[in-house]
Amino acid sequence: MTQRVAQRRSTGVRSAAVGSVLALAAGLAFVAGSAGPAAAIPAAAAVRATEGCEGGGSARDAAKAASVSAATAAADAARPRSTAVGTAAERISYSLPAQAPIGLWTESSVTLRTPVAKGGTVRLDVGSRGFSTDSLAVQRYAPESHRWVDLTPATSGSGSPQQAVFAFPLTTSASAAKPHTVALRFMDLDRPGTFTVTASVTDGKGHTYRAPARTATTTRPDASVSGWGAGTTLTRGGPAGEFTLTVKNTTDRAYPRPYASYFAYGAGTGHALTPKDIDLQQYRPGHGWERVRLVAGGCDPGMSATLRPAVNGPLAPGATATYRMRVAVAASAPRDVTAADAGVTAGNGDLSYFSRNLPFAIKGGK
């Protein structure tokens, strides 16, 4: 993935206030949808864990950017299909799938058959609904350098633009006898909605030709949490509370690197919860209950853990990943800590698309 997209994701992480408790959970990056309509991660634990931290932000951003680059290296190196789209009668043809799952690259292409010389310009007019066009990454494949190149948008200048124009010059000529196809790809980095693309080409001789507009629906897997009620209270040294995180891939694409994580934060008048104060366990068929190690954040008192995989390999369309968890508070947990902010996230690779807060009160004990 090119530097600009990596920087966009790093910026998204900061604006979403994804703190050290999430950053440690397998290098989470960018934004997540809440349990209802999508929004940036609102987890109080993440916000509080970063307060008062000095010098950690740039290091975390660098780590996330490196994670983005490493995770998408194979996709960046892959050569796209160069098959022409449309019919021979069309001067310009444009293709875009009906779905564009969030966090995955969605291939697109434009084929030119009208006589166009080098110096002509291809233009993509993009309109979005449900999210800002600033959250849409667009790239074209440059065959001369064998790499994907970011397209920089021209937007309306508003804080959350719904219209953007992506344009690039042609590097080769085209004609009806020798069509020229440009490979493109899109990625929604934010939330569900739709985006519509109208492709056009200016031939450099004063003529502009347009292809019919195409619309894609940006989707993501459905995720939900059951079993953790409002006002849940755990007793020091007492029984655990249980919950289940269920993720079903309702999109038409496989998510190659599914993950889930748990985070927690709790502070009193003089003490804070540490990993030894929380017993986090995960049930796996054939293995039973297994303890999951919580790791302190770069700035205590936040902590987090990457949950064990619930599926082997990619999360295929229609497949479900189930994470059955239980949480207990140690008898030795500090007495002045009477409540904890906690929660789970789910995502793919370096992008989180779901977050749910699961706070609990702490009482008594032996």
**335 residue type, one letter:** R
Residue 102, amino acid: I
**Shared domain check, 113 and 36:** no
One domain for residues 182 and 144: yes
* Pair 58, 106 in one domain: no
Give the pLDDT confidence score for residue 297 in this predicted structure: 81
Same domain, residue pair 229 and 201 = no
Same structural domain for residues 336 and 248?
yes
Sequential pLDDT tens for the chain (366 residues)? 444 444 443 333 222 322 333 333 333 333 333 333 233 232 233 333 333 344 444 444 444 344 445 445 556 656 677 788 888 888 899 999 999 999 899 999 999 888 777 678 899 999 999 999 998 999 999 888 888 999 998 866 666 789 999 999 887 778 888 888 999 999 998 889 999 999 999 877 778 999 999 999 999 999 999 999 989 999 999 999 999 999 999 999 999 999 999 999 999 999 999 999 999 999 999 999 999 999 998 655 789 999 999 999 999 999 999 999 999 999 999 999 999 999 999 999 878 899 999 999 999 866
User: What CATH code is carried by the domain that includes residue 352?
Assistant: 2.60.40.10
251 lies in the same domain as 356: yes
| Number of domains observed in the structure of the chain | 2
Start-end of H helices in 85-230: none
Is 336 found in the same domain as 232?
yes
Buried b / exposed e along 20-58 (16+ C-beta atoms within 10 A): bbbbbbbbbbbbbbbeeebebbebebbbbbbeebeeebe
Do 162 and 106 share a domain, yes or no? yes
Structural domain span for residue 260? 3-73+221-363
The 10 Å Cβ neighbour count of residue 335 is 15
CA distance 358 to 356: 6
Among 173, 201, 218, which residue terminates a domain?
218
Position 171 scores a pLDDT of: 75
Q: Where a domain ends, among 150, 183, 218?
A: 218
What pLDDT does residue 261 have?
97
226 and 359 both lie in a single domain? yes
Backbone torsion region of residue 132, taken as left when φ is above 0, otherwise alpha when ψ lies between -120 and 50, otherwise beta: beta
Structure confidence at residue 322 (pLDDT): 98
Residues 164 and 201 in one domain: yes
Residue where a domain terminates, one of 202, 218, 234: 218
- Do 211 and 225 lie in one domain? The reply is no
Together in a domain, 84 and 174: yes
